[in-house]
Amino acid sequence: MEQERPPPSVMERMWGREPVTRRGPRPRLDLATITAAAIEIADAEGLGGVSMASVASRVGVAATALYRYIGSKEDLLTVMADGVAPLPPEPEGTPWRDYLALWTRAQRDIVLEHVWLLSIGRLILPMGPRRLLWLDRALAALDGTGLEHGERINVASALSGYAITEAALVHGVGGGGPQMENVAITGAADYGEVLAGLLDPETYPALSAAMRSGAMGGAEGWVDDDDFVFGLDLLLDGIEALIGRRASEGAGTPEAPGRGEVS
């Protein structure tokens, strides 16, 4: 039997599986304290303010002391991405579509609350107990739909990606992104007016017509919650159609390979 690959040390700490030694003085720190301090810095100053030195200063130790718990800046980002996630809602008794709508909205709101996740959310695989609990609950919500395991993972990946994209649009078009500050754009309608003046109708006929129609105005275009629901319904309609096709074809094999990442 092939031996299982041991997890990285940071994962062992995240999952509480690091061997405990009873020798020597009791450690002054733990991973939860370090993670909370790093998140506080990122929330207040952005990801640029997070370093081993700044986190060490926040918890009152020398930077070298952190390396007993966190091997690198990348490890620190990994535990931060997991640490900001609250416990997911439970799917029991909730129809799969309603649950995944709630799940996706919650994913978006987590990113909006901690906008620095936009810089790392797609780059760090879910490895900690909290992010993987979110993935587990999304997969559990699809029990009984006839979707294969790999298809369920791809569904969660698509919805998580949509949540991150929508959070980025809200943050950027709402004036939160530095690119918007540089061009003095303060909202979706303002953005639409700028584009309407820039776009050549011959080169960009469809987009130019949309901007000139005021599509980005009204209820603040992309920032409006109706637009989030519209896009989410498109995805859920597609998932429902897939479930319908699988029902008409009969149950597939349960171990089809899947791909994808979630926040």
What would the pLDDT profile of 23-51 be if each residue is shown by its tens digit?
A: 545 557 889 999 999 999 999 999 999 99
**8 Å CB contact between 121 and 263:** yes
Question: Per residue in 36-48, is it b (16+ CB within 10 Å) or e — as a string?
Answer: bbbbebbeeeebe
Mean pLDDT calculated for residue range 76-98: 94
Q: At residue 244, what is the residue type?
A: G
Secondary structure letter of residue 21 according to DSSP: P
pLDDT tens for residues 178-237?
A: 333 444 445 566 777 888 888 888 998 898 898 888 776 654 444 568 889 999 999 999
Nearest to 126 by CA among 69, 168, 164, 172: 164
- State how far the Cα of 1 lies from the Cα of 25, in Å rounded to an integer: 40
In the chain, what are the domains?
A: 9-83 (1.10.10.60), 96-174+220-249 (1.10.357.10)
**Rama region for 250: left / alpha / beta (φ>0; ψ in -120 to 50; rest):** left
Of residues 55 and 122, more confidently modeled: 55
pLDDT tens for residues 124-178?
A: 788 899 999 999 999 999 999 999 999 999 999 999 999 999 999 888 766 444 3
Structure tokens at 212: 């000139």
- State how far the Cα of 188 lies from the Cα of 217, in Å rounded to an integer: 6
Write the DSSP assignment of 48-114 as a string of letters.
Answer: GG--HHHHHHHHTS-HHHHTTT--SHHHHHHHHHHHT--PPPP-TTS-HHHHHHHHHHHHHHHHHHS
Structure tokens at 184: 């003095």
